[in-house]
């Protein structure tokens, strides 16, 4: 549970959902509770994310779900990967047992029906045949298919019919024909064809589909289990002079952990002693280990290389990086993409429409069979079930059952969440964290990507390259700048302070320090007011720069930033500060442009320095001298021009622009504020990760479109055939089961998508 604007986000585990209609019923029940701001249901992982704006207890939410006919429990945060796997395995085993029972009874029915279908012989006698069919079909329908029938009946009683309602009606009507046929044989009513054996086969196909679907959905949600399974089980911590091995759940913030070569880092921390290469592939998706030194942060569950590390724990339990990744993946899986709105609207009315269509089909065939009968008779030359021998009532039941069975919207409901679940998990394993489903669809359509310069396109570690001082020694000028810059976290400020440390310059404490975002900083050092910042800012504040124009031009022509230092109303000198482009920047920009995306460099730096970096990495469009508060206006201007615009940044100054863009992408090497403001977080901080994110979004959205297309076309083609009596109920059920399985398997192909 975490805070959301205006309230809290709660997570519930939901049992008993089988289709999109079930998920929508749960959503409607939760949204109807007073104080619930929004609710989203993840059908694949059987979870509900509920944003509550008021004081709404878990018990109230659980009661609302129970009233809708489903079971809800609080999220079990103590669940281990093993228990999650066990839950999915048991669910798949139960589905397999039900399918096995149904087929154990359906296969003898098939063998018994062959003489009747081929030669019209009911062996050993018509009465024995009818009662035998009923005896074999009953356990398959009512025992193996009991959960389906109960779920469908409950939904119908609550006036919220689901896929199970359609299956239940189709199977029930088929089984009822067996009872009527037996009664007809003893002269109690007119002759009716016996489809009771078909009822057992329909249920067997349905349960087989459920079994395969459960196994495939278990693999689909396996990304979270895999992430959870990466964590270490134990930790070696210092207790006085001794080293003690304890469960990782007992580690507390402040513990000193000892990590030997080849061991996993138990939890997030900072290195206090030692140096080693750390395999961070679980976080970044990159296989090359990263050399980590004293003072560097390490992520829990990463693998230590060749050296012994002593790490002070800084985050445990829910506060670790791995736990945050799992929450983001779960959150993304429970959200919806905009295109799903169409599927939801269709699904909401689909089942009632199908029920009405099945009723209309039955009446049309029973009361006015001549027109439809001609089509079925003509088809009888090619289809064994198109014969005109059946009575109007028999044909009416045949067609109505086929409509009920073929029109189940299960594939339509699974189309989006399965693809989104696999995509979010695939992204997490590649260092791409998706905050919501909408970001996937938006990023797949992005045609303009705006990149911040410092720390995004560049490495974010500027260095002081040159010092020009005319009235005081260079070291004294650098010291004045360092004193006021030491209070700032800006990359240029860190570069100035680092230069002071390199030269062994001690820094006095500055007072009354005030940072002016995008311009510079000023403060008092030894009673003197010191100004450090951009040339245009100093000029605007009244400092004369005529004597420094050549120096400024030379520095900017070299692609560096000119930082002026002024004291007592005059400029004493300039520092030349330069940052270098990231090694993969040029390749990433070229790849994005090859994908049809226009790239823009947005920076508060001067024109010359910005164009120098842009030319180095291959960016043509540059917008420079932009203050932090103006970045939002630039992004919104691009959006207003009709572009689907993404913003890529890493700093606190980028947060407003990240939020304003159609989709915000934060580099994980940046500040927490930027990451929280973004729709997508790239853990590695490499620009090639942006390429991978775009490719993942396009691949995921492509699967969503494919799944929706197959689901819609399947129903559009199949339902008219069923209405015309050209689709056998057994074939209809097999096709329905196959369509759902195909959607899930198609989504799972995302696991093999190439992002590099």
Half-sphere exposure of 360 (CA within 13 A, CB side): 11
Query: d(Cα 318, Cα 249) in Å, to the nearest integer?
Result: 11
Neighbours of 494 (CB within 10 A): 17
- Going from the C-alpha of 591 to that of each of 118, 343, 409, the distances in angstroms are 63, 34, 40
Q: How far is CA 398 from the centre of its chain?
A: 42
Tokens of 442: 């938006």
What residues contact residue 97 under an 8 Å CB cut-off, 6+ apart? none
Which of 164, 452, 579, 650 is catalytic? The answer is: 452
Query: d(Cα 77, Cα 140) in Å, to the nearest integer?
Result: 38
Pairing of the two strands 598-602 and 621-623: parallel
What residues contact residue 353 under an 8 Å CB cut-off, 6+ apart? none
- Cβ burial of 484 (10 Å; 0-12, 13-18, 19+) is buried
What is the DSSP annotation of 81-112? HHHHHHHHHHHHHHHHHHHHHHHHHHHHHHHH
Neighbours of 245 (CB within 10 A): 9
| Helices and strands (H and E) in the chain: how many | 26, 27
Query: d(Cα 547, Cα 558) in Å, to the nearest integer?
Result: 19
Closest CA to 440 of 452, 456, 422, 454: 422
Residue 620 catalytic? no
**Active-site residue set:** 452
């Amino acid at each position: 549970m975490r805070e959301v604007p205006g309230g809290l986000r709660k997570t519930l585990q939901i049992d008993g959902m089988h289709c999109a209609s079930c998920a929508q019923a749960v959503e409607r029940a939760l949204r109807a509770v007073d104080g619930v701001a929004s609710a989203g249901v993840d059908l694949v992982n059987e979870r509900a994310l509920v944003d509550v704006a008021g004081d709404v207890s878990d018990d109230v939410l659980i009661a609302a779900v129970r009233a809708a006919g489903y079971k809800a429990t609080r999220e079990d945060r103590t669940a281990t990967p093993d228990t999650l796997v066990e839950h999915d395995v048991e669910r798949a085993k139960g589905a397999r047992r039900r399918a096995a029972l149904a087929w154990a009874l359906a296969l003898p029915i098939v063998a018994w029906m062959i003489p009747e279908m081929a030669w019209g012989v009911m062996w050993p006698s018509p009465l024995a045949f009818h009662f035998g069919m009923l005896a074999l079909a009953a356990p398959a329908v009512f025992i193996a298919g009991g959960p389906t029938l109960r779920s469908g009946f409950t939904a119908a009683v609550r006036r919220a019919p689901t896929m199970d309602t359609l299956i239940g009606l189709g199977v029930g009507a088929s089984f009822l024909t067996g009872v009527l046929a037996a009664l007809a044989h003893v002269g109690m009513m007119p002759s009716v064809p016996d489809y009771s054996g078909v009822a057992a086969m329909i249920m067997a196909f349905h349960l087989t589909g459920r079994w395969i679907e459960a196994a495939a959905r278990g693999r689909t949600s396996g990304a979270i289990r895999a992430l959870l399974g990466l964590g270490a089980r134990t930790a070696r911590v210092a207790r006085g002079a001794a080293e003690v091995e304890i469960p990782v759940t007992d580690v507390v913030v402040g513990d000193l952990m000892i990590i030997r070569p080849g061991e996993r880092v138990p939890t997030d921390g900072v290195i206090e002693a030692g140096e080693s290469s750390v395999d961070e592939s679980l976080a970044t998706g990159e296989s090359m280990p990263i050399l980590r030194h004293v003072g560097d942060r390490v992520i829990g569950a990463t693998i230590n290389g060749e050296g012994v590390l002593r790490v002070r724990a800084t985050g445990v339990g829910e506060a670790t990086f791995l736990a945050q990744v799992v929450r983001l993946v779960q959150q993304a899986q429970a959200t919806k993409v905009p295109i799903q709105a169409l599927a939801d609207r269709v699904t909401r009315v689909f089942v009632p429409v199908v029920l009405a269509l099945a009723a209309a089909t039955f009446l049309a065939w029973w009361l006015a069979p001549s027109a439809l009968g001609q089509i079925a008779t003509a088809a009888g030359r090619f289809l064994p079930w198109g014969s005109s021998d059946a009575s109007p009532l028999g044909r009416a039941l045949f067609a109505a059952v086929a409509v009920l069975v073929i029109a189940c919207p299960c594939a339509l409901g699974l189309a989006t969440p399965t693809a989104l679940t696999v995509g979010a998990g695939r992204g997490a394993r590649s260092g791409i964290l998706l905050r919501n489903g909408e970001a996937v669809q938006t990023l797949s359509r992005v045609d303009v990507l705006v990149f911040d310069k410092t720390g995004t396109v560049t490495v974010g570690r500027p260095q002081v390259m040159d010092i020009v001082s005319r009235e005081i020694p260079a070291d004294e000028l650098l010291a004045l700048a360092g004193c006021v810059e030491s209070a700032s976290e800006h990359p240029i400020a860190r570069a100035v302070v680092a230069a002071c440390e390199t030269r062994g310059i001690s820094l006095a404490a500055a007072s009354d320090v005030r940072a002016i975002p995008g311009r510079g900083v000023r403060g008092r050092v030894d009673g003197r007011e010191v100004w450090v910042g951009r040339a245009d800012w100093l000029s605007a504040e009244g400092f004369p720069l005529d004597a420094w124009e050549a120096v400024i031009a030379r520095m900017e022509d070299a692609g560096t930033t000119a930082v002026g230092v002024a004291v007592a109303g005059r400029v004493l000198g300039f520092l030349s500060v330069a940052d270098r482009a990231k090694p993969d920047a040029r390749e990433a920009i070229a790849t994005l442009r090859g994908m049809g995306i226009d790239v823009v460099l947005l920076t508060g730096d001067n024109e010359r320095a910005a164009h120098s970096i842009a030319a180095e990495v291959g960016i043509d469009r540059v917008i420079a001298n932009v203050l932090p508060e103006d970045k939002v206006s630039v992004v919104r201007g691009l959006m207003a021009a009709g572009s689907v615009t993404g913003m890529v940044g890493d700093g606190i100054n980028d947060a407003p622009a990240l939020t304003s863009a159609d989709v915000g992408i934060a580099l994980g090497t940046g500040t927490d504020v930027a990451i929280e403001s973004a729709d997508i977080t790239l853990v590695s901080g490499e620009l090639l990760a942006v390429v991978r994110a775009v490719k993942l979004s396009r691949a995921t959205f492509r699967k969503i479109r494919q799944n929706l297309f197959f689901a819609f076309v399947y129903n559009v083609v199949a339902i008219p055939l069923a209405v015309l009596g050209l689709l056998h109920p057994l074939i209809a059920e097999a096709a329905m089961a196959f369509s759902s399985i195909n959607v899930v398997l198609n989504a799972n192909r995302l696991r093999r998508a190439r992002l590099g």
